[in-house]
Structure 1
Amino acid sequence: MNFSEVFSHIITFMKKEPIANYRLMVGTDSQVHPSNTLFITGIVIQRVGKGAWACFRKEIVHREMTTLHERISYETSLTEKVAALFTEEKKNELIEIVLPHIYKGATFTIEGHIDIGSGERNRTRVYVNEMVARIESLGMEPKIKPDSIVASSYANRYTK
């Protein structure tokens, strides 16, 4: 699917039930394979407690990307690339769906999921501030493990 088709699916999903809590989430995970590194960027629109619609984009780098910082940074770049497709105009179009219903409890958030954690034993913890700042600069709410479900669960499933 191209981005227009993806966006159309999101619009249709939200319009089916405009009085709901929506989370638009974008996140990337990667897996190093013997001759390449596979990156999967997931786009998920969740109607909290009432289902979700999701799709993903695949990118292959034709080498083993073994340096952790390079891989985490590239994952974040791919998330930024997809998030940038949601222009202010597109975001406003999504917000307009729930806006008439905010007094009935409808909400809409946009999140950038990063496959890193701040735990003491997590090797990626030294990159948390850098990657979180990058996601925040896009106007998205950053999420790290264990809350970065699109990167650490959904996209992860397709990197194997």
Structure 2
Amino acid sequence: MTTDNGLSFSFQNLSQRKMSFEDVFHHISQYMMKDETGNYCLMFGTDSQIHTNYTLFITGIVIQRKSKGAWACIRRVIIPRKMTNLHERISFETTLTEEVVSMFTEERKNLLIDIVLPHIYKGASFTIEGHIDIGSGKRNKTHIFVKEMVSRMESLGLEPKIKPEAFVASSYANRFTK
């Protein structure tokens, strides 16, 4: 099991391990350059799972070319205790998402925007979303945190998504928390 102690950033996917953030950014920009007229959505989200002696957090980064596939990777963080307080865990998930998003500086975001910008008149687009593993339904225990976590994503300039639209957190990252 690869762990990330929170001090370094190491990413992986099914075909590559120990990618640096530079590697991740390179893969994303190369993916976008394959079709500069595509409709791209860069999405971030974190999910967690409590295990016997630790809590595992997985942050997913997905660049999707709408209806034409995606490239994705994860960052794994292990906290060596059971995080049973729901608000603490949801807040930490959001913090981990914010950490990864912050690596995409304005300069880096502009580099990605510049890939599609000359092709906007052909329908090209680029959006950024923050996926939060919470739901607004009254039966969902996390519904009381929606406003707080959505505000945090909006403060980063991301379009917030909650369940059922938050698939990077609730589906992609979730897959790796087991």
* TM-score with structure 2 setting the length: 0.89
Structure 1 counterpart of 2:11: none
Report the Cα offset of residue 66 of structure 1: 0.3
Once the two structures are superposed, the pairs formed by residues 127-138 of structure 1 within 5 Å of their partners are 127-138=145-156
Report the Cα offset of residue 120 of structure 1: 1.7
* TM-score with structure 1 setting the length: 0.99
Give per-residue Cα distances to partners, 1:89-136, cap 9 Å, x unaligned. 000000000000111111100000000000121000000000000000
Separation in 2, partners of 1:54, 1:36: 25
Match of 2:116 among 95, 98, 106: 98
Separation in 2, partners of 1:125, 1:103: 40
Separation in 2, partners of 1:58, 1:146: 23
Indicate yes or no: 2:61 matched with 1:43.
yes
Indicate yes or no: 2:91 matched with 1:73.
yes
Separation in 2, partners of 1:80, 1:107: 23
Separation in 2, partners of 1:149, 1:22: 16
Q: Amino acid of the residue matched to residue 8 of structure 1?
A: H
Structure 2 counterpart of 1:52: 70
Q: Amino acid of the residue matched to residue 78 of structure 2?
A: I
Aligned length: 160
Structure 2 counterpart of 1:15: 33
Give per-residue Cα distances to partners, 1:63-103, cap 9 Å, x unaligned. 00000000000000000000000000000000000000111
Q: Amino acid of the residue matched to residue 51 of structure 1?
A: G
Q: SS in structure 2 opposite 1:78? A: helix
Indicate yes or no: 2:168 matched with 1:153.
no
Structure 2: 5+ residue runs without aligned partners? 1-18
| Percentage of identical aligned residues | 69
Structure 2 counterpart of 1:119: 137
Q: Amino acid of the residue matched to residue 30 of structure 1?
A: S
Q: Amino acid of the residue matched to residue 146 of structure 2?
A: V
Q: SS in structure 1 opposite 2:84? A: coil
Separation in 2, partners of 1:18, 1:32: 41
Q: Which has the higher helix share?
A: 1
Separation in 2, partners of 1:144, 1:21: 21
Separation in 2, partners of 1:30, 1:88: 28
Report the Cα offset of residue 155 of structure 1: 0.1
Structure 1 counterpart of 2:158: 140
Q: CA RMSD in A?
A: 0.4
Q: Amino acid of the residue matched to residue 152 of structure 1?
A: S
